């Protein structure tokens, strides 16, 4: 009998007893108490982007006072939050989905540093000569949630994803046949509110394991002279991301501070469009919040609400500007890549004050 190496012990499997209807919905599926299932129709795959109306966009545009833009995205390269080896202090900084691959098919120096004879005829030179013009063309192989990113709606529980669609509609071969990222290609625009929780509490960064509840969100908004309104994009600053790249000594990304699942009812009741964080995973994932299931915020936000969730945001420069003049509301713009069936997308979000 041949030897078998590293075989995983098998256990039995009981197939599900539910049925999936012709719309791809799990019959009888029930979301959590706070949910948007069916609110924008049985076929909806945009979630809270339905709250981004032309009227709200025009109103938010009136918040532009100085015209100064702030990119809230991390650079895609080395080092970044998802790739790269070390910071200037020599500390390892690989905190996400492996390393990206960035390579070139052609680059400007090719014609300068080498003698590409025979290329000149179609590149502006004489036949048999080196090219006159310089071209560059490069390639990027990257996990779609490698860096500053918008979470997809492929995360769920009880065999369902957003709006009651069957989780089985997403496979490694097909991608997400429902709730794919291409449904959100029109982008996220509107009024953004920076809730600088770290500054409000008088610390450089929130401590490991700190969870931001609804009362604290309202307290910070009140201190900044703002209300959380329908259609808002909440930029929630913990101070963690900037600290990680400046120092990060002893940092544990699994315990990076984040939002509490207790905040979900507030986000639902206020019709918030998006929450975005300067951390790795929105919530504390290294331990389970008492009274909740693992990654409960993700389940409630993505599966139940269809909430737009951003991670790996760089909020420090924007926070400095807001503290300087005391204005914490601004215009916000971001759009995901329209990846058909995609489960996430890089973002380069921009705030304009």
Q: Are residues 110 and 258 in the same domain?
A: no
Say what the pLDDT of residue 85 is. Answer: 45
Q: Are residues 313 and 298 in the same domain?
A: yes
Q: Are residues 258 and 238 in the same domain?
A: yes
Say what the pLDDT of residue 309 is. Answer: 98
Q: What Rg do the C-alpha atoms of the chain give, in angstroms? A: 23
Q: Are residues 136 and 200 in the same domain?
A: no
Neighbour-count burial of 338, counting CB atoms closer than 10 A to its CB (0-12 exposed, 13-18 middle, 19+ buried): middle
Q: Where are the beta strands (DSSP E) in the chain?
A: 69-71, 101-106, 137-141, 149-151, 170-171, 175-176, 188-196, 211-212, 233-237, 258-259, 274-277, 308-311, 329-334, 344-346, 350-352
In the chain, how long is the greatest CA-to-CA distance?
78
Q: Give the β-pairing of 274-277 and 101-106.
A: unpaired
Q: Are residues 137 and 147 in the same domain?
A: no
In-domain check, residue 277: yes
Q: Are residues 149 and 261 in the same domain?
A: yes
In-domain check, residue 95: no
Q: Are residues 291 and 182 in the same domain?
A: yes
Q: Are residues 55 and 120 in the same domain?
A: no
CATH number of the domain residue 313 falls in: 3.50.30.50
Say what the pLDDT of residue 105 is. Answer: 83
Q: How many domains does the chain have?
A: 2
Q: Are residues 167 and 113 in the same domain?
A: no
In-domain check, residue 15: no
Q: Are residues 70 and 57 in the same domain?
A: yes
DSSP secondary structure, 39-84, as one string: TT-TT---GGGGG--HHHHHHHHTT-SS--EEE-SPPSSSS-SSS-
Distances (CA, A) of 191 to 5, 172, 270: 57, 36, 14
In-domain check, residue 336: yes
In tens digits, the chain (353 residues) has pLDDT values of: 677 677 888 888 898 999 999 999 999 999 999 999 999 999 999 999 999 999 999 999 999 999 999 999 988 875 544 433 444 434 444 455 566 788 888 887 777 776 555 555 555 555 556 666 777 889 988 888 888 999 999 999 999 999 999 999 999 999 999 999 999 999 999 999 999 999 999 999 999 999 999 999 999 999 999 999 999 999 999 999 998 887 777 778 889 999 999 999 999 999 999 999 999 899 999 899 999 999 999 999 999 999 999 999 999 999 999 999 999 999 999 999 999 999 999 999 999 99
In-domain check, residue 137: yes
For residues 126 and 267, give the distance between their C-alpha atoms in angstroms, rounded to a whole number: 65
In-domain check, residue 13: no
Q: Are residues 258 and 219 in the same domain?
A: yes
In-domain check, residue 151: yes
Say what the pLDDT of residue 273 is. Answer: 98
Q: Is 166 helix (H, G, I), strand (E, B) or coil?
A: strand
Say what the pLDDT of residue 90 is. Answer: 40
Q: Are residues 268 and 220 in the same domain?
A: yes
> What range does the domain containing 260 cover?
47-77+143-352
């Amino acid at each position: 009998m041949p030897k078998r190496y590293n075989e995983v012990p098998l256990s039995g499997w009981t197939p599900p007893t539910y049925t999936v209807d012709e719309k791809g919905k799990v019959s009888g599926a029930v979301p959590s108490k706070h949910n948007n299932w069916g609110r924008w129709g049985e076929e909806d795959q945009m979630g809270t982007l339905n709250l981004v109306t032309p009227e709200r966009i025009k109103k938010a545009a009136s918040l532009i006072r100085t015209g100064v833009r702030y990119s809230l995205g991390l650079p895609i390269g080395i080092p970044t939050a998802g790739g790269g080896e070390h910071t200037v202090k020599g500390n390892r900084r690989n905190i996400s989905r492996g390393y990206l691959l960035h390579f070139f098919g052609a680059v400007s120096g090719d014609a300068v540093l080498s003698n590409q004879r025979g290329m000149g005829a179609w590149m502006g030179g004489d036949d048999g000569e080196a090219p006159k013009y310089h071209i560059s063309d490069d390639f990027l192989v990257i996990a779609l949630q490698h860096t500053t990113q918008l979470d997809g709606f492929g995360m769920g529980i009880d065999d369902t994803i957003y709006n009651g669609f069957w989780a089985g509609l997403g496979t490694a071969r097909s991608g997400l046949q429902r709730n794919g990222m291409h449904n959100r290609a029109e982008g996220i625009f509107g009024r953004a509110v920076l809730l600088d929780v770290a500054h409000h509490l008088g610390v450089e960064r929130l401590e490991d394991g700190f969870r931001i509840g609804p009362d604290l969100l309202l307290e910070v908004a009140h201190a900044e002279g703002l209300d959380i309104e329908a259609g808002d994009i909440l930029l929630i600053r913990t101070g963690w991301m900037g600290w990680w790249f400046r120092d990060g000594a002893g940092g544990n990304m699994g315990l990076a501070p984040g939002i509490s699942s207790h905040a979900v009812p507030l986000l639902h009741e206020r019709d918030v469009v998006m929450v975005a964080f300067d951390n790795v995973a929105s919530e504390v994932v290294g331990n389970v919040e008492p009274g909740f299931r693992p990654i409960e915020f993700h389940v409630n936000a993505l599966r139940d609400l269809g909430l737009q969730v951003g991670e790996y945001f760089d909020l420090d420069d924007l926070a400095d500007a807001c503290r300087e003049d005391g204005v914490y509301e601004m215009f916000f713009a971001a759009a995901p890549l329209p990846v058909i069936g995609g489960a996430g997308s890089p973002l380069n979000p921009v705030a304009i004050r």
